[in-house]
Amino acid sequence: MSEKKATLTIDGIEGAVELPVYSGSIGPDVVDVGGLTSKGLFTYDPGFVSTAACESEITYIDGGKGVLLHRGYPIDQLAAHSDYLETCYLLLYGELPDAEQKERFVSIVHNHTMVHEQIRTFFNGFRRDAHPMAIMCGVVGALSAFYHDSLDIADEHHRQVAAFRLIAKMPTLAAMSFKFSIGQPFMYPDNNLNYAENFLHMMFGTPCEASNVSPVLAKAMDRIFLLHADHEQNASTSTVRLAGSSGANPFACIAAGIAALWGPSHGGANEAVLNMLEEIGDVSRIDEYVARAKDKDDPFRLMGFGHRVYKNFDPRAKVMKESADEVLAELGLEDDPLLAIAKRLEEIALEDEYFIEKKLYPNVDFYSGIILKAIGIPTSMFTVIFAVGRTVGWIAHWNEMISGSYRIGRPRQLYTGHEQRDFVPLEQRG
């Protein structure tokens, strides 16, 4: 780490506090504030707006320039030339695989796609109208009860087995969540199909006829998984890291990440975007909704817009928008009314002073729902798709933490409650 220093002078504290400053390979320097507690001080940063919670080599984001790198490779190059499982290999191991490494990785994933038959019974405990994300929180957490042979998180091989099981089984469990909600039989994986084809086979196939998965839709599905694979220390990834820092079971940590992703401010936004576009209903009503999004007294926000880090275009949104045009054109849906509303809404918002001043641009969730709807995925499954894609990112960060030196995460607080006071017996209250 570098020898740079930050000097802090605080009223009432004798002398200045010297804090080490570290530089990464790219991006902002960080001030190591660990020594502040010895001065009786904490830092205060609700929402972790300017807090680097860890050191990582996996993903880099430059919010001002709209740059997203996975192990140094730009997301638009990976979306154009790679595929989801190859990107999984890159995120997990740090380098793109050669042909033999890729073939072996894909083969191992393919041979872990089935789930234990007992898992099927978990679904029967849910109401048919349960939200698929509620089901995924439950059944992924339940995997922690099934794999006692890969529980030593200090063992690299055990961590690898957990990674393969999660990447391979998430599509199977996701499709089962959908099938359960529509009362159709679960479909077993077909390992002759590639990752995205297999998912669509399990989603839309039935035991009554051979699956006929469209290569166009499968390619679009694979790209959606790839674009959601990882995104630095976002809320759900930070949740997985915090859960993992206590030494918890990796399947339980991923279930915690799924729960955090579900919120409409995070991964739940893709479902909220589609619902918003359908509520707007016509380009003539866009101005009314943009006005509501700007109204401080109206809780309505333009879903799919804004980002904690990106203050420029989310590079994933650009790729997603191109994919939406390609997929809808290939399906003869280029006149999709929701796409028309989305494009007009983007144009209006990007010309509006409020959005320009607050640097609110479309994010990854703005166009993804339009592609998913064209593929035939129901809106309630959109965040589940996000969770399937993001599983590799959660696991890569969990593995990076557990394989290094780490401590249990335990933030402090600014306490503003009562000072100490004596107990009041019941008869003396009121």
266 binds ligand SDX (CB under 6 A): yes
Residue 220 and residue 375 in contact, taking contact as beta carbons nearer than 8 Å? yes
Smaller CB distance to ligand SDX: residue 158 or 308?
Answer: 308
365 given a catalytic annotation: yes
360 binds ligand SDX (CB under 6 A): yes
Considering only residues 68-97, where is the footprint of ligand SDX by CB under 6 A? none
Q: What is the spatial distance between Cα 364 and Cα 361, in angstroms, rounded to a whole number?
A: 10
257 binds ligand SDX (CB under 6 A): no
Candidates 131, 129, 148, 149; CA nearest to 139 is: 131
Q: Which stretch binds ligand SDX (CB under 6 A): 3-11, 21-29, 279-287, 356-364?
A: 356-364
Q: Which stretch binds ligand SDX (CB under 6 A): 35-43, 158-166, 192-200, 303-311?
A: 303-311
Q: Which stretch binds ligand SDX (CB under 6 A): 66-74, 107-115, 245-253, 263-271?
A: 263-271
Residue 177 and residue 377 in contact, taking contact as beta carbons nearer than 8 Å? no
110 given a catalytic annotation: no
Q: What is the spatial distance between Cα 120 and Cα 321, in angstroms, rounded to a whole number?
A: 37
Question: Which CB contacts under 8 angstroms, 24+ apart, belong to 209-217?
Answer: 211/187, 216/327, 216/330, 216/331, 217/327, 217/375, 217/376
Of 115, 303, 338, 387, which lies in the binding site for ligand SDX, with binding defined by CB under 6 A?
303
Q: How far is the CB of 40 from ligand SDX (least distance, A)?
A: 30
Of 301, 311, 318, 344, which lies in the binding site for ligand SDX, with binding defined by CB under 6 A?
301
Residue 84 and residue 226 in contact, taking contact as beta carbons nearer than 8 Å? yes
Of 189, 304, 315, 369, which lies in the binding site for ligand SDX, with binding defined by CB under 6 A?
304
306 binds ligand SDX (CB under 6 A): yes
Which position among 83, 307, 314, 352 bears the catalytic label? 307
418 given a catalytic annotation: no
User: How many other CB atoms are there within 10 angstroms of residue 225's CB atom?
Assistant: 25
Smaller CB distance to ligand SDX: residue 186 or 361?
Answer: 361
Site of interaction with ligand SDX (CB under 6 A): 47, 231, 234, 265-267, 269, 293, 301-309, 358, 360, 363-365
Catalytic center residues:
266, 307, 365
